[in-house]
Amino acid sequence: MKYYLGIDIGGTHIKGGIVNLLTNDIHQNILSHEELNATDSTSSIITKVRKVITDFQACMPLSKLGGIGIAMPGPCDYAKGIVAIYGVPKFQSLFGLNLKEEIKKVSDLNTVFINDASAYALGEYYAGAAKDTSRSIIVTIGTGLGSTFLENDTVLNELTEGIPEHGYLYNIPYRDGMADDFFSTRWFVNTWNMLFPDKKVTGVKEIALRASNGDNNAQSLFENFASNFVEFITPFLLNFKPEKLIIGGNIAKASDFFLDNIQFQLKKLNLITKIDICKLWDMSPLIGSAIYTSNILENMENTKEKRHTQQFIAPTNSTATPSGEYDIYPAFPLGKGKIGKGINQLADWIEKHSQIKIDGYIGVFWDELIIKLGEELRKRGKNVRFFHSSVAMKDPQTIEKMIAPYLGGDNPLFGTITDKHLVNWFDENKLNSIQPDPEADLNIFIGTGAALSQWKAPLIYIDIPKNEIQFRMRAGAINNLGLDYRKDNQQAYKQLYFVDWIVLNKHKKQCLPLIDLLIDGQREWDE
């Protein structure tokens, strides 16, 4: 496909443009723009995102596009389109929301999510100030601090020397806070208003205007910003050794008041990294997200093994076993009308409620369930929102450290049965921050541990036999509890035996009196 739609969701705006991949620019310079307040309600923000997408129907049918690329601030689960932004004053109402499912309400195009700073960086690499560089750091300074470390057109992560986790700089400790507190619009506004309460401002543009008019106080504030920035960024320049440092974002529009200062101070430190201001400005994330989406979709695997075994899944129905013979599929009578089958009957039950919690064992194919259930509920005219428990889990490194005493180190067989509970995997403040949208018809809190939330809602539990979990793990289709990467088989099975199954069995036992609907999670959702 020649055309892709690029969307940039920022703290103050949502912007979209159709990108021509043959020329790496905006098709006919046609853009869609919506003002945004990042503290608005879930419905308000989602409505504006969808409007930016549908605005382009007038100039080009969405069916002629190859896909949609959405650039958004982190942290997010970009592969799944789940918002995980927490602890900063923006998009709090979206915490845990499956944004990819929201897009499906207006378009069935494949949608790919990317960090906004990464999209910005790729846009500058393909068509802007970072073009043809072998190594570069691109920072965006606006509502917050975004950052990306590039090697050619590859976004690097923390596995590369000199790069922080995920390439994020915003959460790096700096002075009495974190970097985002010092390299953002709010630092300028808060500092100025604290120093000059009788001359309050609402944005950096006002301070820059004062500086251009010769205001010494305004000029001094930009000098302080430059000194702080050099102090903060120097270790990363020394360790990563980029060819270029590109500065973008709204603050960069005031570069006349700080860029020379930064270059002067870096030169005094004998740093030879070239400092430049971005060239594409607001177009960077649109172009970067569109090209990234094209690359991802072209390399997407069509098929992926879900279970590695020759063993069939237990049948939905079985015939009675003659008396005296071994019964491989034992059954117990529940009474008539107690068992349903297929996504339609599940939707029949769910649509009667305004809130639902869906919990379950590890190994559940949550993404597939959401796709099927969301599609069915949309057909019925339901405005449904999916919120994910996974964003409230502690990070994998913290979890690994917590469970290490039970895994017996490198011993191939022995470990210790854990005394932990599932709640220990979660940040309870995050878990309780995931709130339903009162403007939606139906809110679904979904994922392992959903029952731990404070939502007052019916509980569905999805169970899976342990052998099926192992088949899926052998195929690399699932990971251990709380991890986002694959362990080798020996360590993975040890964690299952000594930790995961113990913790999840205790959790399931606690859930049993509360379960309203029990689902067999070992088969396809439309079977």
CATH tag for 343-520 (out of 3.40.50.620, 3.30.590.20, 3.40.50.300, 3.90.550.10): 3.40.50.300
Would you state the pLDDT for residue 178?
Answer: 96
Can 3-116+287-299 and 129-278 be said to share one CATH topology?
A: yes
Would you state the pLDDT for residue 63?
Answer: 84
pTM, two decimal places: 0.86
CB distance 390 to 447 below 8 Å: yes
Candidates 244, 270, 117; CA nearest to 184 is: 117
End-to-end CA distance of the chain: 34
Q: Tally DSSP H helices, then E strands, for the chain.
A: 16, 19
What is the distance between the alpha carbons of residues 100 and 83, in angstroms, rounded to a whole number?
10
What is the distance between the alpha carbons of residues 76 and 86, in angstroms, rounded to a whole number?
10
Would you state the pLDDT for residue 1?
Answer: 67
The Cβ-side half-sphere exposure at 498, using a 13 Å CA radius, reads 21
Would you state the pLDDT for residue 166?
Answer: 83
Query: Which amino acid is it at 119?
Result: A
Residues of the chain with pLDDT under 50: none
Which residue shows structure tokens 């309050």?
Answer: 200
Domain parsing of the chain, residue ranges: 3-116+287-299, 129-278, 343-520
Beta bridge partners, 444, equal 356, 386
Q: What is the DSSP letter of 43?
A: H
Could you tell me whether strands 459-463 and 515-520 are parallel, antiparallel, or unpaired per DSSP bridges? parallel
Residue 388's region, left for phi above 0, alpha for psi from -120 to 50, else beta, is beta
Taking only Cα atoms into account, the Rg of the chain, rounded to an integer number of angstroms, comes to 26
What pLDDT digit, counting tens, does each position of 17-39 carry? 999 999 999 988 889 999 999 88
User: What architecture is the 129-278 domain classified under in CATH?
Assistant: 2-Layer Sandwich (3.30)
Residue 224's region, left for phi above 0, alpha for psi from -120 to 50, else beta, is alpha
What is the distance between the alpha carbons of residues 436 and 440, in angstroms, rounded to a whole number?
8
What's domain 3-116+287-299's superfamily in CATH?
ATPase, nucleotide binding domain (3.30.420.40)
